[in-house]
Amino acid sequence: MFNASVGLNIALGKKQRNIDWYHVYNNEETELALLREEVDALKQKLTDSDQDGVLDFLDREPGTTNGVEVNTKGIAIDRNQNGIPDELENTLETSYVSKSEFRDSQSKAEASDVVRFLINKGYINVCFGFDSVVPEASSIQDINSIVLFLKQNPEENIELTGYTDPIGNKAYNERLSKSRTKYINDILVSAGVEQSRIEFKGSGVNPNFENNSKYSRKLSRKVMIKLK
């Protein structure tokens, strides 16, 4: 709302200033600034960062993996309440059904050697979205490969090490990196791998990616697997 008033000129030496119109101008600038803030806040509320169909200001579980079914509050559906979203669990179960096909295509020894080589070279790891503990859909096959490898090689143990990108403070990133490894640990245990064969830890910011570019940050958000 803008208020009109009669200008009152007060002489200040040789200069005059229209006091009322000066205040009207300032009020207008203030109202425009407040309006911009309201528009920016509204835009933020209408954002759906993880594209799960639930706006950020209503989303109680930001960073959900693309394709994972969520409820009206943005929380991944977990009907059996085992801590693993049903969509991820179903994908793993489908992969287990094709286990015989995996064996038929190549011998157990050959398959294990391939997976062992890929793990040792760092090619098999689990990636995450920004500020998320749920693995990206593109990493499901890697998780499945780890499960099959551990089931076929009961003498093998693994260590999971979690990392984050450089955004955020040190304490938060250390907690986030450990939460990521705990999540993968729980998936493996749920799939039938003994807890005694798995160690997991968080190491905070990934030291291998000092470049703070968007691509570098994406690569740094991961859980790396090491055979013990």
Whole-prediction pTM value? 0.55
Per domain, the residue ranges of the chain are 9-45, 50-77, 86-227
User: Tell me, what's the pLDDT at 208?
Assistant: 81
Cα 9 from chain centre? 61
Q: Which CATH superfamily includes the segment(s) 86-227? A: OmpA-like domain (3.30.1330.60)
> Over the range 79-100, which residues count as b (16 or more CB within 10 Å of their CB) and which as e?
eeeeebbbbbbebbeebbeeee
Taking alpha carbons only, the member of 171, 166, 176, 177 closest to residue 203 is 177
User: Tell me, what's the pLDDT at 33?
Assistant: 76
Are 71 and 77 contacting, i.e. CB atoms less than 8 angstroms apart? yes
Taking alpha carbons only, the member of 185, 219, 228, 222 closest to residue 204 is 222
- Tens-place pLDDT, residues 102-138: 445 445 567 778 888 888 888 899 999 999 999 998 8
- Tens-place pLDDT, residues 44-56: 666 666 666 666 6
The pLDDT of 57-75, averaged and rounded, is 64
Of the CA atoms within 13 Å of residue 80, those in its CB half-sphere come to 9
Angle at 39 between CA 33 and CA 42, to 5 degrees: 145
